[in-house]
């Protein structure tokens, strides 16, 4: 009968609405379910995941030494030219002219975080850093020089370097 | 002169035109709909795409094959893993390289996690379009757990560039399997809540049942694949028809529905979320040990010829067509994207309905605009 | 029980006597009107501001997040900061818009809701206008708001605004019927349209309890119809953000937009307070007929606290509706009114008339 379906429709509709209201009502009275992180008040205790892709860095050890030989493989592999390598020729201990890295320029504003430079570096000189607060008022501050002033190349025995070549 | 133009443009004198236009809260991305209305009823709809065309296919012509991957991420960004996988499978088939089993399992798990995350975001945006603003936050809250899994292993939440020709960039984090198992346990409890909040709601059902009826013939003719096509009975799941990676090793159902309306497309995506969880559960405990990549040369040169590969992304069938002339750069790469085909059914579906129906239909087709424009 | 917090009549009468003793009748009346006007303006502004903040916090808690909590303790000064921002914004003039009507529309909406506030009984003796046709006056005056909305949509010279205004006009005019008819049930029970009489008749129990099933049905219908009246909740397609980018008030900026926004929240307050007054007793404490000690304990809480508590509960209910349900389409909305709410209302009134005649209520 149409009257019966009319009335049962009303009750079914109201029941479905009530069930929906129960969910939002549940979350209203359970403030423990709030998932907001209190940034920036929690900056001191904030721990990012160790593999987080914040920016490309060149790790230096305690003697201010890095592993970059200035070979330029990262510059060739970068798809959009975010890396520029500037090298100079120097005379090393055995008297031969050798290529030494002068500036490893990294354009953070153009980087697409594809990881090719880190992966193809034969001397493992680059790594990801965890810093994510990159907002600046001047775009030129986003062009960084990765090797620190006064740093020099870490001397490793040659056999160890060959083992670390990935592919 | 303008009077004459107006006479030609508007078929009847009562028709007027509104731009739902590139900036709009409910077209997800920069897409322009020219909507011709008579009162509240839509008579015609003309979509204009191309506002976010970046020339990805052209940019790929100057990049080597490992460098293409980071560009394909940015087409349909919610199925980033699946886009990467499509190009990698095409290149690996061309070079006839066999990837290790571990790689196949991990690629499939990542694809299914990506599908889950994409459907979660679709659900929350669909609810928001229809006016239920709370669904947005519930969907995002659950999606954060998947993004945490991604962030721990790969370092980024949305665009990973992790799957490369030959295998993976590096191995996954040791915590990968535990996190996934925790997530599946958590999400199995939360997904019925989605049903309680939106699916069973009488207002929602009245808004979506009978709206945007898509027949099976139309779906096949326009090339509507993915959940939108399966909602009309078009059986087009690439994972079943042309299985790749680890899909031959898992058992799951291809959900179909004979009714072609918005509600059936909605229900189908929710069912697909359950199926994805089933697939992940079958795979996550059995990941074989081994290498995370096959031995590849430093510079990849594809032999001369044409190569094609299709995969099932969250929105339909993605096809990658590479023409190579023996160089290390592709001569031409063409992407057949699912959203491009799905967009042009909008005129047929939305005509005769109201503006509110237009919003519901475009939400149910799940359009991602950068995929249309590449 | 005679301190001023329980009964405001001595306070108002003393002010009245003070004024009539020192000034002529006309001047005393004028000064009283000015005082009442200023008090109401202040009340309107303050409650409007804090309702916006309350809505943002309530919706945030429902969505698993915190609301605004940085500007002031717990976000106390958030709306004041927003108000200052809106005051400083540029009032964008619209090309070829009807200037007089464009500027007039926000004021009409505010005036309509302001006139309705005047009739609310806040506490015993704190009742500005106590007509003997109280309910009738309120319903009549609150329907003036639709004129403001239609004028706003028409004079904006924009298709989006016009669609929103037309939808809203149809919606408000239809739902006024349901609002009026559902309040009619309580008028039949109480026997009078005067608001103070209605409250006095609930001295031995609120009508939602005394009038059992028909009163509950009338209450549900009233809540649904009044959320539709105020363009809120699942019926807000006049300003549906995800479809029409703000509907009839798209073209308004700065303080004129703030007027529409404020008027919407005050309409919600008015509707909630009338639900509290008619169905839940207004400022009357919870009395159960016959339990004298219980009634005596309940009387210790001042009536104004009772009133604000009940209104807050009703406001929470209206907010709960908005944040849970999706929006209705315009034809579904009108179907709901004409095919469901109106027949239910008419049948309900018949039943209530019968019950009242036979004294089958508590």
* Percent of the residues in chain B that have a pLDDT greater than 90, as a whole number: 16
Residue A21 lies in a domain: yes
Q: Please state whether the peptide bond connecting residue C161 to the residue before it is cis, i.e. omega within 30 degrees of 0.
A: no
Is the CB of residue B197 less than 8 Å from the CB of residue A23?
yes
Question: Is A36 at the interface with chain C, CB within 8 A?
Answer: yes
Least confident segment among A153-157, B58-62, C125-129: A153-157
Find the mean pLDDT for residues A63-73. 84
B10-373: CATH class: mainly alpha
A149/A99 same-domain check: yes
Question: Is B359 at the interface with chain C, CB within 8 A?
Answer: yes
- Better pLDDT: C141 or C293: C141
By residue range, what is the domain housing residue A15?
2-33
A110/A76 same-domain check: yes
For the cut 90, the answer to whether the pLDDT of residue B321 exceeds it is yes
A22/A52 same-domain check: no
For the cut 60, the answer to whether the pLDDT of residue B7 exceeds it is no
Distance set, CA C55 to CA A7, B63, C60, C269 (Å): 34, 52, 8, 12
For the cut 60, the answer to whether the pLDDT of residue C298 exceeds it is yes
Tell me if A12 and B202 make a contact (CB, 8 A cut-off).
Answer: yes
**Domain residue spans in chain B?**
10-373
Residue-wise pLDDT tens digits, B130-166: 888 888 888 888 899 899 889 888 888 888 888 888 8
A84/A19 same-domain check: no
The tokens describing A119, both together, are 């992966």
pLDDT at position C305: 85
**Which of C55, C66, C317 to mutate: most A Cβ within 10 Å?**
C66
Residue carrying structure tokens 């499978």? B89
Question: Is C332 at the interface with chain B, CB within 8 A?
Answer: yes
Find the mean pLDDT for residues A66-74. 85
Q: Kind of pairing, strands A152-153 and A65-66?
A: parallel
Q: Compute the CA torsion angle B221, B227, B231, B235 (nearest 10 deg).
A: 60
What is the arrangement of strands in the sheet containing B32-38, beginning at the earlier edge strand?
B16-20, B32-38, B41-48
Strand segments (E) across chain B: 16-20, 32-38, 41-48, 163-164, 167-168, 305-313, 316-324, 332-336
For the cut 60, the answer to whether the pLDDT of residue C58 exceeds it is yes
A57/A108 same-domain check: yes
For the cut 70, the answer to whether the pLDDT of residue A165 exceeds it is no
SS (H, E, C) chain C: CCCCCCCCHHHHHHHHHHHHHHCCHHHHHHHHHHHHHHHHHHHHHHHHHHHHHHHHHHHHHHCCCCCCCCCCHHHCCHHHHHHHHHHHCCCCCCCCCCHHHHHHHHHHHHHHHHHHHCCCEEECCEECCCCCCHHHHHHHHHCCHHHHHHHHHHHCCCHHHHHHHHHHHHHHHHHHHHHHHHHHHHHHHHCCCCHHHHHHCCCCCCHHHHCHHHHHHHHHHHHHHHHHHCCCHHHCHHHCHHHHCCHHHCCCCCHHHHHHHHHHHHHHHHHHHHHHHHHHCCCCCCCCCCCHHHHHHHCCCCHHHHHHHHHHHHHHHHHHHHHHCCCCCHHHHHHHHHHHHHHHHHHHHHHHHHHHHHCCCC
A50/A21 same-domain check: no
The pLDDT confidence band at residue C222, using thresholds 50, 70 and 90, is very high
Residue-wise pLDDT tens digits, A136-162: 899 888 888 888 877 777 776 554 444
Find the mean pLDDT for residues B110-117. 91
ipTM greater than 0.90: no
Find the mean pLDDT for residues C54-82. 87
Distance set, CA A66 to CA A40, A51, A59, A126, B52 (Å): 33, 20, 6, 9, 41
A64/A16 same-domain check: no
Find the mean pLDDT for residues C66-93. 85
Average pLDDT over chain B, rounded to whole? 87
The alpha-carbon gap from B110 to the nearest alpha carbon of chain C, in Å, equals 28
Find the mean pLDDT for residues B57-65. 89
The tokens describing B357, both together, are 């129906």
pLDDT at position B26: 61
Nearby residues of C207 by Cβ (< 8 Å), 6 or more positions away:
C186, C189, C190, C201, C215, C278, C279, C280, C281
Residues in chain B whose Cβ is within 8 Å of chain A:
63, 66-67, 69-71, 134, 141, 144, 151-156, 159, 161, 166, 169-170, 173, 193, 196-198, 200-203, 293, 295-296, 298
The pLDDT confidence band at residue C168, using thresholds 50, 70 and 90, is confident
B127 CB neighbours in chain C (<8 A) are 326
* Percent of the residues in chain C that have a pLDDT greater than 90, as a whole number: 8
The pLDDT confidence band at residue C73, using thresholds 50, 70 and 90, is confident
A153/A108 same-domain check: yes
Question: Is A33 at the interface with chain C, CB within 8 A?
Answer: yes
Question: Is C61 at the interface with chain A, CB within 8 A?
Answer: yes
Residue-wise pLDDT tens digits, C24-56: 778 888 888 888 889 888 988 888 888 989 999
Nearby residues of C88 by Cβ (< 8 Å), 6 or more positions away:
none
DSSP state of B98: P
Burial B143-173 (b: 16+ CB within 10 A, else e): bebbeebbbbbbbbbebbbbbbbbbbbbebb
Is the CB of residue C102 less than 8 Å from the CB of residue C255?
no
pLDDT at position C102: 86
Is the CB of residue C34 less than 8 Å from the CB of residue C46?
no
Residue A155 lies in a domain: yes
pLDDT at position B6: 57
- The count of CB pairs under 8 A between chains A and B is 67
Please name the chains neighbouring C, where neighbouring means 3+ C-beta pairs under 8 angstroms.
A, B
Please name the chains neighbouring B, where neighbouring means 3+ C-beta pairs under 8 angstroms.
A, C
Least confident segment among A31-40, A123-132, C182-191, C233-242: C233-242
At A149, phi and psi to the nearest 5? Answer: -65, 135
Tell me if C324 and A34 make a contact (CB, 8 A cut-off).
Answer: no
B359 CB neighbours in chain C (<8 A) are 242-243
Residue-wise pLDDT tens digits, C260-269: 888 888 889 9
Nearest chain A alpha carbon to C336: A10
Least confident segment among A20-24, B205-209, C284-288: C284-288
Nearest chain B alpha carbon to C322: B132
Please give the Cα distance from B171 to B151 (Å, whole number): 13
Find the mean pLDDT for residues C18-22. 79
Tell me if B141 and C64 make a contact (CB, 8 A cut-off).
Answer: yes
pLDDT at position B11: 52
A75/A17 same-domain check: no
The pLDDT confidence band at residue C312, using thresholds 50, 70 and 90, is very high
pLDDT at position B71: 87
For the cut 50, the answer to whether the pLDDT of residue C1 exceeds it is no
A29/A70 same-domain check: no
Residue A38 lies in a domain: no
For the cut 50, the answer to whether the pLDDT of residue B116 exceeds it is yes
pLDDT at position A137: 93
Helices B101-130 and B262-284, interaxial angle, to 10°?
Answer: 150
For residue B33, list its beta bridge partners: B20, B47
Residue A39 lies in a domain: no
- Domain harbouring A49, CATH code: 3.30.70.3270
A10/A74 same-domain check: no
């Amino acid at each position: 009968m149409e009257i019966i379906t009319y009335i049962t429709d009303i009750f079914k509709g109201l029941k479905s609405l009530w069930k929906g209201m129960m969910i939002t009502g549940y979350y209203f009275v359970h403030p423990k379910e709030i998932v907001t992180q209190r940034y920036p008040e929690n900056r001191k205790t904030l721990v990012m995941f160790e593999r987080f892709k914040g920016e490309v860095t060149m790790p230096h050890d305690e003697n201010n030494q890095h592993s970059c030989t200035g070979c330029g493989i990262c510059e060739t592999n970068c798809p959009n030219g975010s890396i520029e390598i500037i090298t100079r020729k120097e005379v090393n201990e055995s008297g031969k002219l050798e290529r030494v890295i002068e500036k490893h320029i990294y354009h953070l504003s153009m980087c697409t975080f594809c990881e090719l430079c880190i992966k193809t570096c034969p001397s493992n000189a680059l790594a990801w850093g965890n810093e994510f607060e990159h907002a600046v008022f001047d775009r030129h501050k986003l062009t960084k020089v990765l090797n620190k002033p006064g740093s020099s190349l870490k001397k490793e025995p040659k056999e160890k370097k060959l083992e670390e070549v990935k592919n | 002169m303008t009077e004459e133009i107006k006479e030609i443009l508007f078929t009847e004198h009562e028709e007027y035109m509104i731009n739902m236009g590139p900036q709009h809260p409910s077209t997800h991305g920069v897409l322009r709909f020219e909507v011709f209305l008579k009162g509240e009823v839509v008579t015609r709809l003309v979509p204009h795409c191309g506002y976010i065309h970046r020339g990805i296919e052209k940019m790929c012509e100057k990049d080597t094959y490992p460098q293409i991957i980071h560009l394909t991420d940015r087409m349909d960004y919610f199925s980033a893993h699946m886009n990467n996988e499509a190009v990698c499978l095409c290149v690996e088939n061309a070079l006839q390289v066999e990837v290790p089993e571990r790689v196949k399992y991990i690629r499939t798990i990542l694809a299914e996690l990506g599908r889950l995350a994409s459907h979660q975001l679709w659900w929350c945006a669909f609810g928001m379009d229809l006016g239920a603003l709370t669904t947005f936050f519930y969907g995002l809250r659950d999606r954060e757990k998947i993004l945490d899994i991604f962030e721990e292993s790969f370092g980024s939440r949305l665009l990973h560039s992790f799957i490369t020709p030959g295998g993976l960039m590096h191995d996954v984090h040791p915590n990968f399997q535990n996190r996934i198992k925790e997530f599946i346990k958590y999400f199995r409890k939360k997904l019925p809540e989605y049903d309680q909040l939106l699916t069973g709601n009488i207002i929602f059902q009245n808004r979506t049942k009978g709206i945007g009826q898509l027949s099976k013939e139309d779906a096949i003719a326009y090339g509507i694949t993915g959940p939108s096509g399966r909602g009309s009975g078009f059986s087009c799941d690439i994972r079943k028809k042309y299985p790749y990676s680890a899909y031959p090793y898992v058992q799951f159902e291809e959900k179909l529905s004979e009714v072609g309306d918005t509600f059936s497309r909605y229900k189908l995506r929710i069912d697909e979320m359950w199926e994805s969880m089933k697939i992940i559960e079958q795979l996550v405990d059995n990941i074989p040990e081994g290498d995370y990549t096959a031995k590849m040369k430093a510079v990849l040169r594809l032999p001369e010829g044409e190569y094609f590969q299709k995969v099932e992304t969250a929105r339909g069938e993605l096809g990658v067509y590479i023409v190579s002339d023996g160089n290390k750069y592709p001569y031409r790469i063409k992407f057949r994207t699912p959203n491009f085909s799905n967009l042009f059914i909008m005129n047929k579906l939305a005509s005769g309905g109201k503006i509110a129906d237009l919003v519901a239909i475009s939400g149910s087709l799940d359009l991602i605009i950068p995929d249309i424009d590449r | 029980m005679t301190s001023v917090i329980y009964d405001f009549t001595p306070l108002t009468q003393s002010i009245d006597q003070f004024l009539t003793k020192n000034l002529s009748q006309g001047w005393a009346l004028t000064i009283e009107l000015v005082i009442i006007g200023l008090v109401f303006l202040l009340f309107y502004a303050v409650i409007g501001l804090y309702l916006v903040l309350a809505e943002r916090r309530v919706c945030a808690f429902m969505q698993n997040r915190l609301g605004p909590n940085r500007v002031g303790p717990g976000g106390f000064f958030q709306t004041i900061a927003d108000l200052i921002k809106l005051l400083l914004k540029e009032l964008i003039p619209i090309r070829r818009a009807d200037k007089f009507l464009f500027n007039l529309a926000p004021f009409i909406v505010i005036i309509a809701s302001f006139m309705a506030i005047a009739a609310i009984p806040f506490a015993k003796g704190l009742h500005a206008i106590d007509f003997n046709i109280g309910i009738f006056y309120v319903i009549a005056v609150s329907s003036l708001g639709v004129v403001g909305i239609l004028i706003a949509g028409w004079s904006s010279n924009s298709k989006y605004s016009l669609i929103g205004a037309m939808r809203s006009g149809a919606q408000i005019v239809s739902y006024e019927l349901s609002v009026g008819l559902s309040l009619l049930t309580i008028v039949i029970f109480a026997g009078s349209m005067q608001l103070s009489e209605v409250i006095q008749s609930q001295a031995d129990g609120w009508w939602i309890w005394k009038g059992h099933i028909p009163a509950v049905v009338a209450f549900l219908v009233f809540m649904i119809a009044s959320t539709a009246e105020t363009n809120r909740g699942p019926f807000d397609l006049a300003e549906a953000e995800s479809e029409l980018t703000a509907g009839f008030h798209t073209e308004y900026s700065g303080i004129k937009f703030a007027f529409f926004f404020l008027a919407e929240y005050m309409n919600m307050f008015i509707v909630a307070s009338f639900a509290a007054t008619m169905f839940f007793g207004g400022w009357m404490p919870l009395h159960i007929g016959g339990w004298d000690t219980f009634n005596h304990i309940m009387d210790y809480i001042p009536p104004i606290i009772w009133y604000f508590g009940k209104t807050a509960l009703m406001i929470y209910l209206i907010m709960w509706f908005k944040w849970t349900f999706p929006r209705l389409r315009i034809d579904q909305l009108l179907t709901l009114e004409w095919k469901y709410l109106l027949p239910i209302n008419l049948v309900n009134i018949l039943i209530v008339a019968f019950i009242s005649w036979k004294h089958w209520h508590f």
